[in-house]
Chain A
Amino acid sequence: MSDDHDDSPIAARVRELEAVLEEKGLLDPRELDQVLEAFTHRASPANGFRVVARAWTDEGFRTRLLENANEALPELGLSMGGGLQVQRLHVVENTEDVHNVLVCTLCSCYPLSLLGPSPTWYKSPAYRAKVVSHPREVLEQFGLTLPETTRIEVWDANAESRYMVLPRRPEGTGDLTEAELAALVTRNGLIGTAAV
């Protein structure tokens, strides 16, 4: 399983488009490489893990994050402006009563700068179609069985905003440092297909 599909039709189409833009003098290939390199270097799920660990240990940060994530992220040296435009981020918090899960039913919108490249299954038509209509079954396929009393909230990133889930802090982690807490968080936890 790989996120690289260099031989795929879309990759060929992008290469052709790039060549045309260069030919017309609309694109400097070095500039494009620099932007891509800088962005992909910074884009990692480790960013999301840090955000979660800080929210678990700093109540003020947690409140600011849930209120306005774009304004809270710079406190950790992060932003949603790594791409060509600044995207609005909503951080949605799991509680005892509510479990959040993310999808983009129309394509594969994803908070790349905080979570890194999205997993292949996130882009699959099967996940995108089924998680909106049957989230409980989909989560069970991921090994996450929620109590019947937990309400599931699905967020479809169908327009301009991006989402990240703030998982519940596991019990018995009171003694852990922020860095140790960050190491507990998984990418699927930030999408909502895992508890943490």
Chain B
Amino acid sequence: MLSERYRTGDRVRTSAVDPDHHTRLPHYARGRLGTVVGHDGVHPLADLSARGVQQPQQVYLVRFSARELFGHGDHSVTLSLWEDYLSDE
């Protein structure tokens, strides 16, 4: 449950699913390819804690290029993402 599946530098893809329930994966960052730039602690998965279920899980700092997110721009955006939101490239 508290595994650290990803390491800094790993390429990860976010879930493309638009769930019915509460989530902290913003719409603009769904189904996108990013790079793990750090670990951000272990916190209850927000999707479940919103429904009263506590399931602590590793959170990662994941950086995306603006081009990957929006198709334009030369900046980058960093988000905190629970492991459940991520899969291997």
* Residues of A participating in the B interface, judged by any CB pair closer than 8 Å: 88, 105-106, 132-136, 151-161
- Tally A-B pairs: CB < 8 A: 64
B43 beta carbon closer than 8 Å to chain A = yes
CB pair B59–A151 under 8 Å, yes or no, is no
13 contacts between A and B (CB under 8 A): A132-B28, A132-B77, A133-B66, A134-B73, A153-B76, A153-B78, A155-B78, A156-B26, A156-B78, A158-B24, A159-B24, A159-B40, A159-B46
Interface size for B (C-beta < 8 A) is: 23
B80 beta carbon closer than 8 Å to chain A = yes
Instruction: Collect the chain A residues with CB atoms within 8 Å of residue B40's CB.
Output: 88, 159-161
B82 beta carbon closer than 8 Å to chain A = yes
Q: How far is the CB of A84 from chain B (nearest CB, A)?
A: 14
B74 beta carbon closer than 8 Å to chain A = yes
Contacts A106-B24, A133-B28, A156-B26 hold; do A161 and B75 have CB atoms under 8 A apart? Answer: no
CB pair A151–B26 under 8 Å, yes or no, is no
Q: How far is the CB of B58 from chain A (nearest CB, A)?
A: 12
